[in-house]
Amino acid sequence: MSTITESEIKPKIGITIGDLNGVGIEVIIKTFADSRMLSVCTPVIYGSSKVISYHRKSLHQQEFNFNTIRTAEEASHKKTNVINCWEEDVKVELGKPSTIAGTYAFKSLEAAGKDVLDKKIDAIVTAPIDKSTIHSDAFPFKGHTEYFAKLCGNAEHVMLMVSDKLRV
C-alpha cells in the first residue's frame, strides 16, 4: 500500500497578480494572511516579490509571509509561494491605470499558463486585469477567458463563477 503525500491531497494553485496597480494583490495578501488557507491548497503566486512586498507594506499586513521560489516544483506545501516573473523594478501607482501594469499582468498570465500546461500546477486563479491597459499586439483578447481558450487550443469556451448561493 502506497502512502499518499501532501502534494497529492492539496492542489497546487497558480495565482496571477492581475493589474499591479489594482485590487488583485490586496485580495491575494488578505486571503493568504489567514494561514488556514494553506490547509486547502498550495498557493503559487506569479508576479514579483518586490511588488508583493510593496503591497504588503502599504496594507500593513505583516502577518502575510511568502516563500520566493524559482519554479513551481520548488513550492512549499506549508507556505505561500511567489515566483518572480521579472526581475526589474516596477513603479507601483495604486489606483492608476498604466500600460506598464498591463505588460506585467500579461507576464504573470503567461508564466502561470505555461506552468499549468506543463502540469507544474493544477489550476489557475486570476486576479483582475485592467482590460484597457493589458490590451496590445501581444494580448489581443477581451480578457482572461479568451486568452486561456487560445492558449489551450479551444475554440469554444465559457466563464464560470461559483459561490455557495450562486452559480453563473
Give the domain CATH number at 19: 3.40.718.10
**155 within some domain:** no
How many domains is the chain built from?
1
Domain, as residue range, for 109? 6-134
**146 within some domain:** no
**32 within some domain:** yes
**C-alpha gyration radius of the chain:** 16
Q: Give CA separation, 168 vs 111, 127, 130, in Å.
A: 28, 18, 22
Percent of the chain exceeding pLDDT 90 equals 82
Mean pLDDT of 81-90: 96
pLDDT digits (tens, 9 = 90+) for 149-164: 999 998 888 878 788 8
pLDDT digits (tens, 9 = 90+) for 102-141: 999 999 999 999 999 999 999 999 999 999 999 999 999 9
CA atoms within 13 A on the CB side of 164: 0
**119 within some domain:** yes
